[in-house]
């Protein structure tokens, strides 16, 4: 479903809510981030009409890059119709008057919370991620000045210490989402809490990927066609989630599936998390293509 | 990484110093800190720095290991390729790399030198992982080998250091430092806080490892018995200055400086 | 959920925990929980997290699979792959999750 652009009806507000100087500042920070893939660039985060934790970082990046001709898609955990996705989409429809869509191939800017769309992206698209904690080393090193030094010196031994510890304790690496990656062989990055299932999509993706953390006031970027590798050991290689089941709606075996409990006996159904992908597959099957 | 490394340096290298210190000075106040320290350290040599608290020994150790910047003077280290590194002309990155690869630092309190929240195996493997070792099996094997070397039961490889006794923690700290095959190890009162029998065992272990691995060591201690057991040479410090240096036995059996005589005579003889 | 978080954060002493981080320090917690910077985190828990939980669930199921009653030679694909393992004390016994190494 695509909504055509409306005249934006938010008098007293600048296009896309943020003032032009703020957008300039964010764009400059974004350019720096694109020039140094995976490096966290601080930016002057502004107060947004949402509290922290609700996507203010992603929204500021989206606001900074939106133009009148853009088509915006917003998803939350893969779905276009959850409360927050709807709110953010409406926010930009009102403050920027841009066209909005739920169809991945038709969007020019996609703001996402914790999933990468199943449909492959193109070189003309920008994916904006909402990030809670931008620092992948935070869990093991609470000091910000120390983690900055570690990034500067490429001092990442401690990441593998954590993975080693997982294998020693559980027999497997015990990270299921927000799985740390090495970007362009240099910086270690937290790809936001996407399931590790989505990590391979980061590697050599034709789209530009931008990451914004509002509370922490950091942004970072992965330019198109960049090498992104998930951390692992030679004898314990990175592996993604897999399901025995397929999607109950469209039959997909290749997408991330949500598990729904459908009755009191614990009966389960598995459905694609990416609602647009699922809907498209279903309609293709129904029209017999 | 093999626990026991054969002597790989050609004999002629033993004549060239590993560490050269000139006029090293850092003062916090009049006679507080250290000043005008000069010496050379050769591969495989153990240098003891003794003195009472406040004499400047810890400051000196900090300056030598790149942890604090001197007011004056220089420290030069001969790296593995043979090139000399001026410690304070080099970048922070180079210093940290040295500290993680060719050097070791054994802290007085093992809690400062270990990651208490991860297993013994992870502690030992960290330096290897920092250098790019990506094979879990090999890392684990190195952990087991080193635990044996420092006389900790290998079955404890997955236990956290919080479950270890003080002596075991200290031995784990030593293993963690030695796994990267350093040539120079700094030790800050490694036996402080341990009781006597545990100390004796630790010293025995250290002595064995130092000889076996041909380590150069700079050890700071206030305990002359430790100095006598481990050090080849001694530097006696008092109020920021070095008052006497020489071979350990000479300094302890035939002290020249009045202060050294005082130190030696005040040691309780069993 | 918000109250539960604050309550738990203030109980380090009661549980005999070693206070390592600011979230275990009562003064820090109370000083930092009531301002603009803190706002939003608790309410954000209303947002869906089912994909993240799904990922965790899948992980737990994977970890539990080797716990099915089998002889010690049932080695799952992702487990410790040392060939001649001298590890009698290996944590990879029948039920890895029962080993509480916290």
Predicted local distance difference test score (pLDDT) of residue B199: 87
Per-residue pLDDT tens for B38-65? 999 999 999 999 988 888 899 999 999 9
**Interface-testing mutation among A169, A178, A215, with chain C (most C C-beta atoms within 10 A):** A169
| Token output for B124 | 């030992």
Q: How far apart are CA A172 and CA C63, in angstroms?
A: 7
Contact residues, chain A, for B130 at CB < 8 Å: 155-158
Predicted local distance difference test score (pLDDT) of residue A32: 98
Helices (H), C21-92: 26-32, 41-44, 50-64
| Residue of B126, B135, B158 with shortest CB distance to A235 | B135
pLDDT of B170 above 80: yes
Predicted local distance difference test score (pLDDT) of residue C100: 34
- pLDDT grade, residue B169 (50/70/90)? very high
Strands of the sheet containing A228-230, edge to edge, are A187-189, A181-183, A228-230
Query: Catalytic site residue A278?
Result: yes
Does A186 contact chain B (CB < 8 Å)?
no
As a whole-number percent, the residues of chain B with pLDDT over 90 amount to 66
Average pLDDT, chain A: 92
Compute the average pLDDT of residues C11-38.
79
Predicted local distance difference test score (pLDDT) of residue A1: 56
Compute the average pLDDT of residues A134-159.
89
| Token output for A196 | 């590790």
Q: Where are the beta strands (DSSP E) in chain B?
A: 19-29, 32-41, 46-50, 72-78, 84-86, 103-106, 184-188, 216-221, 233-238, 241-247
Q: Do C63 and A197 touch (CB under 8 A)?
A: no
- pLDDT grade, residue B236 (50/70/90)? very high
Work out the number of other CB atoms within 10 angstroms of the CB of residue A62. Answer: 29
Angle of helix B136-149 relative to helix A157-170, nearest 10 degrees, comes to: 90
Average pLDDT, chain B: 89
The CA distances from residue B230 to A235, A255, B61, B202, C60, in Å, are 41, 64, 17, 11, 51
Query: Catalytic site residue A58?
Result: no
Q: How far apart are CA B20 and CA B218, in angstroms?
A: 13
**Interface-testing mutation among C21, C83, C85, C87, with chain B (most B C-beta atoms within 10 A):** C87
Contacts of A177 (CB under 8 A, 6+ apart): A114, A193, A194, A195, A196, C51, C52, C55, C56
Instruction: Give this prediction's pTM.
Output: 0.80
Predicted local distance difference test score (pLDDT) of residue B117: 87
Instruction: List, as own/partner pairs, every contact residues B188-192 make where C-beta atoms lie below 8 angstroms and the sequence separation is at least 24, other chains included.
Output: B188/B58, B188/B61, B188/B105, B188/B106, B188/B107, B188/B108, B188/B220, B189/B108, B189/B220, B189/B221, B189/B222, B189/B223, B190/B106, B190/B108, B190/B219, B190/B221, B191/B221, B191/B223, B191/B226, B192/B108, B192/B221, B192/B223
Q: Where are the beta strands (DSSP E) in A163-267?
A: 181-183, 187-189, 208-213, 218-222, 228-230, 257-261
Q: How far apart are CA B174 and CA B97, in angstroms?
A: 18
Q: b/e per residue, A215-245, with b = 16+ CB within 10 A?
A: bbbbbbbbbbebebebbbbebbebeebebee
Å from A170 to nearest chain B CA?
11
Compute the average pLDDT of residues B179-196.
90
Does C23 contact chain A (CB < 8 Å)?
no
Which element (helix H / strand E) includes A83?
A: helix A83-96
Compute the average pLDDT of residues B175-181.
93
Does C16 contact chain B (CB < 8 Å)?
no
Per-residue pLDDT tens for C37-91? 677 777 788 888 999 999 999 999 988 887 555 444 434 433 333 333 333 333 3
**Interface-testing mutation among A159, A160, A166, with chain B (most B C-beta atoms within 10 A):** A160
Q: How far apart are CA B141 and CA B1, in angstroms?
A: 9
As a whole-number percent, the residues of chain A with pLDDT over 70 amount to 96
Q: Which residue has the higher pLDDT, A35 or C90?
A: A35
Q: Which residue has the higher pLDDT, A136 or B96?
A: A136
pLDDT of A288 above 90: no
Chains in contact with B via at least 3 Cβ–Cβ pairs below 8 Å: A, C
Å from C11 to nearest chain A CA?
21
Predicted local distance difference test score (pLDDT) of residue A246: 93
Lowest-pLDDT range, A155-164, B165-174, C18-27? C18-27
Phi-psi region of A246 (alpha: psi -120 to 50; beta: other; left: phi over 0): beta
Q: Do C89 and B144 touch (CB under 8 A)?
A: no
Contact residues, chain A, for B118 at CB < 8 Å: 161-162, 165
Interface of C with A in 36-75 (CB under 8 A): 37, 39-41, 43-44, 47-52, 54-59, 62-63, 66
Please tell me chain A's helix, strand, coil percentages from 3-state DSSP, rounded to the nearest 5.
30, 20, 50
Check: CB of residue A116 under 8 Å from CB of residue A203.
Answer: no
Predicted local distance difference test score (pLDDT) of residue C99: 33
Å from C89 to nearest chain B CA?
5
Interface of A with C in 123-152 (CB under 8 A): 142
Predicted local distance difference test score (pLDDT) of residue B146: 95
pLDDT of B97 above 70: yes
pLDDT of C98 above 70: no
Q: Which residue has the higher pLDDT, B98 or C37?
A: B98
pLDDT of B12 above 50: no
Predicted local distance difference test score (pLDDT) of residue B183: 93
Chains in contact with A via at least 3 Cβ–Cβ pairs below 8 Å: B, C
pLDDT of B7 above 60: no
pLDDT of B270 above 70: no
Does A160 contact chain B (CB < 8 Å)?
yes
Predicted local distance difference test score (pLDDT) of residue A289: 56
Check: CB of residue B234 under 8 Å from CB of residue B227.
Answer: yes
Predicted local distance difference test score (pLDDT) of residue C18: 78
Q: How far apart are CA B151 and CA B172, in angstroms?
A: 9
| Token output for A103 | 């169809």
With CA atoms as reference, the chain B residue closest to C87 would be B155
Compute the average pLDDT of residues A222-245.
94
| Residue of C47, C57, C96 with shortest CB distance to A76 | C47
Predicted local distance difference test score (pLDDT) of residue A199: 97
Between chain A and chain B, the number of residue pairs with CB atoms below 8 A apart is: 55
Q: Which of A151-155, A208-212, C60-64 has the highest mean pLDDT?
A: A208-212
Q: How far apart are CA A172 and CA B220, in angstroms?
A: 42
Token match 């739920």: residue?
A102
Compute the average pLDDT of residues B79-93.
89
With CA atoms as reference, the chain B residue closest to C101 would be B159
Q: How far apart are CA A205 and CA A211, in angstroms?
A: 15
Predicted local distance difference test score (pLDDT) of residue C71: 41
Predicted local distance difference test score (pLDDT) of residue C92: 36
pLDDT of A109 above 90: yes
Per-residue pLDDT tens for A235-260? 999 999 888 899 999 999 999 999 99
């Amino acid at each position: 479903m695509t909504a055509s652009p409306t005249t934006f009806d938010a008098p007293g507000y600048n296009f896309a809510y943020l003032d032009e100087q703020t957008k300039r500042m964010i764009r400059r920070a974004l350019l720096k981030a694109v020039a140094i893939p995976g490096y966290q660039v601080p930016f002057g985060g502004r107060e947004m009409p949402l509290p922290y934790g609700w996507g203010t970082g992603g929204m500021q990046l989206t606001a900074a890059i939106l133009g009148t001709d853009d088509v915006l898609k917003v998803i939350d955990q893969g779905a276009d119709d959850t409360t927050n996705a709807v709110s953010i989409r409406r926010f930009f429809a009102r403050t920027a008057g841009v066209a909005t869509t739920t169809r991945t191939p038709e969007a020019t800017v996609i703001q996402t919370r914790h999933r990468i769309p199943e449909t492959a992206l193109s070189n003309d698209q920008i994916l904006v991620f909402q990030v809670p904690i931008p620092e992948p080393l935070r869990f093991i090193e609470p000091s910000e000045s120390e983690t900055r030094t570690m990034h500067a010196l490429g001092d990442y031994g401690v990441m593998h210490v954590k993975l080693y510890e997982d294998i020693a304790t559980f027999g497997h690496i015990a990270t299921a989402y927000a799985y740390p990656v090495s970007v362009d062989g240099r910086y270690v990055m937290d790809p936001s809490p996407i399931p590790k299932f989505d990590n391979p999509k980061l590697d050599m993706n034709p789209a530009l990927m931008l990451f914004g953390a509002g509370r922490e006031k950091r942004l970072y970027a992965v330019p198109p066609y960049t090498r992104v590798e998930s951390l692992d050991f030679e004898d314990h290689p990175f592996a993604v989630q897999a399901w025995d089941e397929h999607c109950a709606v469209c039959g997909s075996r290749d997408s991330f599936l949500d598990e729904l409990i459908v009755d009191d006996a614990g009966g389960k159904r598995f459905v694609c998390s990416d609602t647009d992908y699922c809907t498209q597959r279903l309609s293709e099957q129904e029209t017999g293509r | 990484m093999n626990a026991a490394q054969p002597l790989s340096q050609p004999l002629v290298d033993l004549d060239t110093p590993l560490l050269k210190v000139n006029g090293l000075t850092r003062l916090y106040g009049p006679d507080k800190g250290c000043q005008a320290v000069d010496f050379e350290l050769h591969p495989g040599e153990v240098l003891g720095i003794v003195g009472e608290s406040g004499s400047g020994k810890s400051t000196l150790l900090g300056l030598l290991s790149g942890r604090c910047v001197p007011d004056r003077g220089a420290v030069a280290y001969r790296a593995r390729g043979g090139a000399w590194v001026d410690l304070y002309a080099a970048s922070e990155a180079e210093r940290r790399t040295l500290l993680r690869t060719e050097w070791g630092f054994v802290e007085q309190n093992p809690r400062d030198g270990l990651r208490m929240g991860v297993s013994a195996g992870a502690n030992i493997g960290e330096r290897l992982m920092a250098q790019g070792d990506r094979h879990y099996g090999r890392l684990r094997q190195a952990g087991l080998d080193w635990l044996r070397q420092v006389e900790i039961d290998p079955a404890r490889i997955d236990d956290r250091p919080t479950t270890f006794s003080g002596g075991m923690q200290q031995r784990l700290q030593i293993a963690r430092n030695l796994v990267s095959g350093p040539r120079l190890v700094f030790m800050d009162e490694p036996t402080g806080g341990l009781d006597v029998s545990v100390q004796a065992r630790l010293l025995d272990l250290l002595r064995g490892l130092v000889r076996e691995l041909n380590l150069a060591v700079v050890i700071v201690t206030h305990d002359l018995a430790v100095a006598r057991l481990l050090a080849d040479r001694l530097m006696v410090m008092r109020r920021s200055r070095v008052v006497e240096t020489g071979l350990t036995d000479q300094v302890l059996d035939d002290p020249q400086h009045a202060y050294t005589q005082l130190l030696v005579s005040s040691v309780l003889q069993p | 959920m918000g109250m539960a978080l604050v309550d738990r954060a203030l109980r380090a002493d009661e549980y005999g925990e070693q206070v390592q981080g600011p979230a275990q320090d009562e003064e820090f917690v109370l000083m930092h929980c009531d301002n603009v910077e803190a706002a939003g985190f608790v309410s954000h828990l209303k947002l869906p997290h089912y994909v993240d939980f799904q990922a965790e669930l899948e992980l737990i199921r994977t970890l539990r699979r080797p716990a099915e009653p089998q002889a010690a030679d049932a080695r799952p694909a992702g487990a410790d792959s040392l060939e001649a393992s001298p590890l009698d004390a290996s944590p990879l016994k029948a039920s890895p999750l029962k080993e509480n190494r916290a």
